[in-house]
Amino acid sequence: MAHKEVIFGLYSDEQDLLKAIRKAKSSHLDIMDVYTPFPVHGLDPLLDLEESRIHIAGFIYGMIGTLTAFLSMTWITTKDWPVIFGGKPYWSVPAFIPITFELTVLFACVGMVITFYIICGMGPGVTNPTLDDRITDDKFCLAFDKAHVSENDARALFSSTGAEEVNSKTI
Amino acid sequence: MSSPVSLIREPLITGNKTYHQITEDLISPTEKTPPRSWIFGFMVAVFFLAVFVFCVGWTIYHGIGTWNLNRTIGWGWDITNFVWWVGIGHAGTLISAILLIFRQKWRTGVNRAAEAMTIFAVICAGQFPIIHMGRVWLAIFIFPYPNTRGPLWPNFNSPLMWDVFAISTYFTVSLLFWYTGLVPDFATVRDRAKGFRKKVYNYLSFGWTGSAKHWQRFESLSLVLAGLSTPLVLSVHTIVSFDFATSVIPGWHTTIFPPYFVAGAIFSGFAMVLTLMLVTRKLFKLEDYITIEHIESMNKVILLTGTIVGVAYLTELFIAWYSGYVYEQFAFFNRALGPYWWSYFGMMFCNVVSPQLFWKKSWRRNIWLTFFLSILINIGMWFERFVIIATTLARDYLPSSWSYYSPSWVEIGIFLGSLGLFFTCYLIFSRVAPVVAVAEVKAILKSSGNQYKGQSQHHDDHHEEVHHDHH
């Protein structure tokens, strides 16, 4: 992976961070990423992040689950090994509903969680570079890639918006 | 956007916390030597876990003839315990999923521990149907996999089969939901840790960075998982109730069972959450995060669900009389006044009468009364399942086969042992993971922290501003 020279400012209040982002946008500085200890409301529209489509993936996984459950039960009870239970028809659709529902939920959830970790580049034992240990504690971080934003511009922005610390790191 | 904060609402975080103080308070229990009471509790729990292992081993070695079940009463403490434990699990999902959808902020203080409780309760529940099979090594036969026995498939028309799918789906989904919520908090632990501890938590935190896009996906995922868990949790206890309701035994064959079981499950689950949280907040000094306001909110849920359960009991009695069906009438007469009358009255007292005390506000906010009642409700809900299962079977269609049942020492040992299994898991969890969701508490600090109360107007202006900028 190509290394990135990152310059980042740490804020201790999310409102200061939001102000800094607005200012960076108005001065056309290309924000690399923003790191926060918790989801900050109002951040997504400021960063022009599109709504996550993970729920669409979930719907598709759910449909796969529905079909898997219903079609397997249909095949098993009518084609592979038909057995009469309690004088009911082989193809007892109402009795298939509970399992069909459960597998729909199971496929949707497992599929979405796996998708989430893959698209975020996360997983058991994965180590992603972090800029500062306090980002998961109480600091809000605004980061610029030095390849796109000059160090002077970044420092000027940080000092005018009240960043507590400005640091550089190669990740 | 966070909703405007009503001044009438009490703060959910007290003690003028800062973000850093929240991290300190909630992460430090995983970093320090545990308090002596924790060590003592852990030893007791492990002792009972050993009892569980021994009694289950005894059952598997000698067969379920070591239990006092007989030809008339084929389900006794085993299935009672199964239904009881599954029910307890339901409160965790209710808090984490349904209250998330309803945007109830008080859930943040208790959701992590409640979800953990769900997972451990479902683990305990899952033991019982399996050991009840007798030949546990054949438990794999319940799964539909291509096999050399035909292939002979399980009976998909059977509610017991639906249970297999419901419970295993419920366990998997709860585990994923819980763990995904833990990942950002494990990252917080990781970033404070050194040496070997850092390696362990680095592994557990899956490489979380806190990037804005990841948070956005995380929130989206949580919301959809909550949306899926809500019908799931309702379906699980509905299907458990089908184990009884689809049979032809008077007293079991009732359409009221699904809603009645679900309400009872939430009722008993909240009682267990309260038992656990009252101890946890004391043990780890979390009074600023699990406040009296949290306890009162949970007591309101207990009052509501307890009353629903009471109405269900009375409805059953009324319908038995109103149906004009003598077998149904006998089943309920027998349930209340037959050989197990004591468990019926125990159930009525613990589940219907005792929670009515919570109509009084000062009693809802009384910690000792809450603790006492939470234990009482757990006992009452155990009685409820016992009443439904044992009293109904004891007086079946043929008076010549009527029977009575009381458990053997093995069955008592397995039940007490399952409590040991549960508390061992819970106590280990309380040491390795933050028992309160750190990131979620930080996210509500500005709207529910005590020092921010009265400034809500200012915050609303701010949100307005953000909004205008965007347009």
Cβ contact B120:B273 at 8 Å: no
Chain A and chain B share a number of CB contacts under 8 A equal to 201
Mean per-residue pLDDT over chain B, rounded: 88
Q: How far apart are CA A105 and CA A63, in angstroms?
A: 9
In a domain, B6, yes or no: no
Say what the pLDDT of residue B455 is. Answer: 60
Say what the pLDDT of residue B102 is. Answer: 83
CA distance B277 to chain A (A): 24
Whether residue B470 has pLDDT greater than 50: no
Q: How far apart are CA B122 and CA B91, in angstroms?
A: 12
pLDDT in tens, B11-69: 888 888 888 888 888 888 888 888 899 999 999 999 999 999 999 999 999 999 999 99
Cβ contact B264:B387 at 8 Å: no
Angle at B294 between CA B293 and CA B299, to 5 degrees: 95
Cβ contact B406:B68 at 8 Å: yes
Write out the DSSP string of B162-207: HHHHHHHHHHHHHHHHHHHHHHHHHHHHHHH--HHHHHHHHHHTTT
Write out the DSSP string of B102-153: TT-TTHHHHHHHHHHHHHHHHHHHHHHHHHHTS-GGGGGGGS----SSSSPP
CB burial string A25-50: b at 16+ within 10 A, e below: eeeebebbbbbbbbbbbbbbebeeee
CA-wise closest residue to B379 among B354, B409, B407, B408:
B354
Mutation site for B-interface testing, chosen from A43, A63, A132, A136 by largest number of B Cβ within 10 Å: A136
Residue labelled with tokens 């009870």: A77
In a domain, B462, yes or no: no
CA atoms within 13 A on the CB side of B29: 24
In a domain, B202, yes or no: yes
Rg (CA), chain B: 24
CA distance B176 to chain A (A): 7
Could you tell me the two tokens for B451? 């020092």
Say what the pLDDT of residue B448 is. Answer: 81
Q: How many helices (H) and strands (E) does chain B have?
A: 18, 0
Over range A141-166, report the average pLDDT: 87
Cβ contact B343:B77 at 8 Å: no
Over range A109-137, report the average pLDDT: 91
Over range B386-397, report the average pLDDT: 90
Nearest to B165 among A92, A99, A117 (CB): A99
Q: Predicted confidence band at B454 (pLDDT cuts at 50, 70, 90)?
A: low
Share of chain A above pLDDT 90, in %: 40
Yes or no, beta carbons of B190 and A136 under 8 Å apart: yes
Say what the pLDDT of residue B7 is. Answer: 65
Task: Show the domains of chain A with their CATH numbers.
Answer: 5-37+138-170 (3.30.70.120), 54-119 (no CATH)
Yes or no, beta carbons of B173 and A41 under 8 Å apart: no
pLDDT in tens, A74-84: 999 999 888 88
Q: How far apart are CA B201 and CA B433, in angstroms?
A: 10
Write out the DSSP string of B282-315: HHTT-TTTS-HHHHHHHHHHHHHHHHHHHHHHHH
Cβ contact A140:A101 at 8 Å: no
Nearest to B188 among A33, A47, A137 (CB): A137
In a domain, B2, yes or no: no
In a domain, B147, yes or no: no
Whether residue B3 has pLDDT greater than 80: no
Q: Predicted confidence band at B447 (pLDDT cuts at 50, 70, 90)?
A: confident
Whether residue B278 has pLDDT greater than 60: yes
Whether residue B249 has pLDDT greater than 70: yes
Q: How many domains does chain B contain in total?
A: 1
The amino acid occupying position B414 is I
Yes or no, beta carbons of A95 and B440 under 8 Å apart: no
Residue labelled with tokens 């434990």: B85
Q: How far apart are CA B417 and CA B124, in angstroms?
A: 10
Q: How far apart are CA B383 and CA B351, in angstroms?
A: 9
Say what the pLDDT of residue A146 is. Answer: 85
Over range A122-132, report the average pLDDT: 88
In a domain, B148, yes or no: no
Q: How far apart are CA B240 and CA B264, in angstroms?
A: 12
In a domain, B50, yes or no: yes
The 8-class DSSP code of residue B76 comes to: S
Nearest to A137 among B191, B221, B235 (CB): B191
Angle at B292 between CA B29 and CA B359, to 5 degrees: 145
Q: Predicted confidence band at B465 (pLDDT cuts at 50, 70, 90)?
A: very low
Yes or no, beta carbons of B208 and A102 under 8 Å apart: no
In a domain, B262, yes or no: yes
Angle at B350 between CA B340 and CA B234, to 5 degrees: 95
Q: Domain span at residue B165?
A: 19-142+160-457
Say what the pLDDT of residue B80 is. Answer: 94
Write out the DSSP string of A129-140: --S-GGGGTT-E
Whether residue B8 has pLDDT greater than 80: no
Say what the pLDDT of residue B5 is. Answer: 55
Yes or no, beta carbons of B217 and A95 under 8 Å apart: no
Q: Predicted confidence band at B6 (pLDDT cuts at 50, 70, 90)?
A: low
Cβ contact A90:A77 at 8 Å: yes
Q: For residue A7, what are the β-bridge partners?
A: A144, A168
Question: For B442, which residue in chain A has the nearest alpha carbon?
Answer: A38
CA distance A109 to chain B (A): 6
User: CA B347 → CA B218, B310, B313, distances in Å?
Assistant: 42, 10, 10
pLDDT in tens, B365-385: 999 999 999 999 999 999 999
Mutation site for A-interface testing, chosen from B216, B236, B248, B436 by largest number of A Cβ within 10 Å: B216
Over range A41-66, report the average pLDDT: 91
Residue A141: list chain B partners with CB under 8 A: 210
Say what the pLDDT of residue B463 is. Answer: 44
Yes or no, beta carbons of B235 and A125 under 8 Å apart: no
The interface predicted TM-score of the complex, written ipTM, equals: 0.93
Q: Between B1 and A17, whose confidence is greater?
A: A17
Say what the pLDDT of residue A42 is. Answer: 85
Would you report the helix, strand and coil content of chain B in percent, each value rounded to 5?
Answer: 75, 0, 25
The DSSP element (H or E) to which A166 belongs, if any, is strand A165-170
Residue B96: list chain A partners with CB under 8 A: none
Yes or no, beta carbons of A42 and B1 under 8 Å apart: yes
Say what the pLDDT of residue A1 is. Answer: 54
Whether residue B157 has pLDDT greater than 80: yes
CA-wise closest residue to B352 among B367, B330, B373:
B373
Range of weakest confidence among A115-119, B35-39, B301-305, B449-453: B449-453
